[in-house]
């Protein structure tokens, strides 16, 4: 049995979000074709993400300097407990599904905050003889992304270079050992009327369903 961690990083709901609608189709198909697997869903906007701020960094420093968990303040304990829970959940998963829109050629800020929290030294990578070495092997990830422009379904190679969020996610996961990565892109939404958008969304949803069966 595999554990699938679904990371929803969209402030909208399924009723108005192309990415979330397609993501739900992916999840439904995956459940139907992998009935023994466990699916965990973490909605970053509904549930929130602990922010790495001065209080957070101070707590980490205290632990590094020998302060015990019990000696931390109640608020520090709550914050660190939530962080450790998210980190353990991420590390223990076998497969990852990231669902997000593109914001200014990058990822939504809460997804970046989440990645900063769970991708950490000694847990997801270690310093090897020739540089960082990932510790999360034999895992796979898929990124379902919506965007107003067209960056992948085009012959214009330059446009693909502008999708820095997807490139970053792929590179970051690769650094920690997750090399099996694919993207599903619902694009050009700013240039479509309602009917065209619905038709394109259905095409991409079917692509997602096919990917789910093989994931």
Domain coordinates in residue numbering, the chain: 3-214
Q: How far apart are CA 69 and CA 76, in angstroms?
A: 9
pLDDT at 213 over 90: yes
What percent of the chain has a predicted confidence (pLDDT) above 70?
100
| Averaged pLDDT, 12-20 | 86
Question: What would the mean pLDDT of 90-114 be, rounded to a whole number?
Answer: 98
The answer to the question of whether 149 is labelled as a binding residue is yes
What pLDDT is attached to residue 63? Answer: 87
Instruction: Give the tens place of pLDDT for each residue, 43-60.
Output: 999 999 988 888 888 888
Are 2 and 34 spatial neighbours (Cβ–Cβ below 8 Å)? yes
CA distance 206 to 169: 23
How does residue 64 score in pLDDT terms, banded at 50, 70 and 90?
Answer: confident
Q: Known binder of ligand: residue 151? A: no
Strand partners, 4: 39, 95
How does pLDDT run across 117-146, given as a tens digit for each residue?
999 989 999 998 888 899 999 999 999 999
CA–CA separation, 173 and 23 (whole Å): 20
Contacts from 12-21 at CB under 8 Å and sequence distance 24+?
12/101, 17/101, 17/146, 18/146, 18/186, 18/189, 18/197, 18/201, 18/204, 19/99, 19/100, 19/101, 19/144, 19/145, 19/146, 19/186, 20/99, 21/201, 21/205
Average of per-residue pLDDT values in the chain = 94
How are beta strands 125-128 and 3-8 bridged, if at all? unpaired
Partner residues linked to 130 by β-bridges: none
Least confidently predicted of 28-37, 46-55, 86-95, 138-147: 46-55
Has residue 14 got a pLDDT over 80? no
Was 104 annotated as part of a binding site?
yes
Secondary structure element (H or E) that encloses residue 97, with its range? strand 95-101
- On whether 102 is known to bind a ligand per the annotation, the reply is yes
pLDDT interval class at 111 (50, 70, 90)? very high
The Cα–Cα gap between 165 and 177 comes to: 18
3-214, CATH topology level: Rossmann fold (3.40.50)
pLDDT band at 79 (very low <50, low <70, confident <90, very high): confident
Please tell me the distance from the alpha carbon of residue 7 to that of residue 115, in angstroms, as a whole number: 10
Q: Over the stretch 163-203, which tens digit does the pLDDT of each residue have?
A: 999 999 999 999 999 999 999 999 999 999 989 999 999 99
Q: What is the C-alpha to C-alpha distance for residues 134 and 121, in angstroms, rounded to an integer?
A: 9
């Amino acid at each position: 049995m595999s554990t699938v961690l679904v990371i929803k990083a969209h402030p909208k709901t399924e009723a108005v979000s192309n990415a979330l609608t397609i993501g739900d189709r992916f999840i439904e198909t995956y459940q139907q074709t992998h009935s023994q697997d466990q699916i965990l869903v973490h909605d970053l906007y509904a549930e929130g993400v602990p922010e790495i701020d001065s209080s957070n960094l101070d707590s980490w420093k205290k632990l590094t300097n020998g302060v015990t968990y019990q000696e931390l303040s109640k608020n520090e304990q709550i914050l660190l407990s939530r962080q450790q829970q998210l980190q353990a959940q991420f590390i223990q998963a076998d497969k990852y599904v990231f669902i997000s829109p593109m914001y200014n050629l990058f990822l939504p800020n809460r997804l970046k905050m989440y990645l900063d929290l769970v991708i950490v030294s000694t847990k997801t990578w270690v310093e090897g003889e020739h540089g960082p070495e990932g510790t999360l092997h034999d895992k796979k990830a898929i990124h379902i992304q919506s965007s107003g422009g067209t960056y992948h379904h085009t012959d214009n190679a330059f446009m693909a270079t502008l999708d820095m969020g997807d490139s970053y996610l792929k590179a970051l996961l690769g650094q920690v050992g997750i090399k099996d990565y694919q993207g599903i892109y619902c694009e050009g939404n700013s240039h479509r009327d309602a009917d065209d958008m619905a038709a394109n969304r259905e095409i991409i949803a079917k692509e997602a369903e096919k990917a789910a069966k093989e994931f």
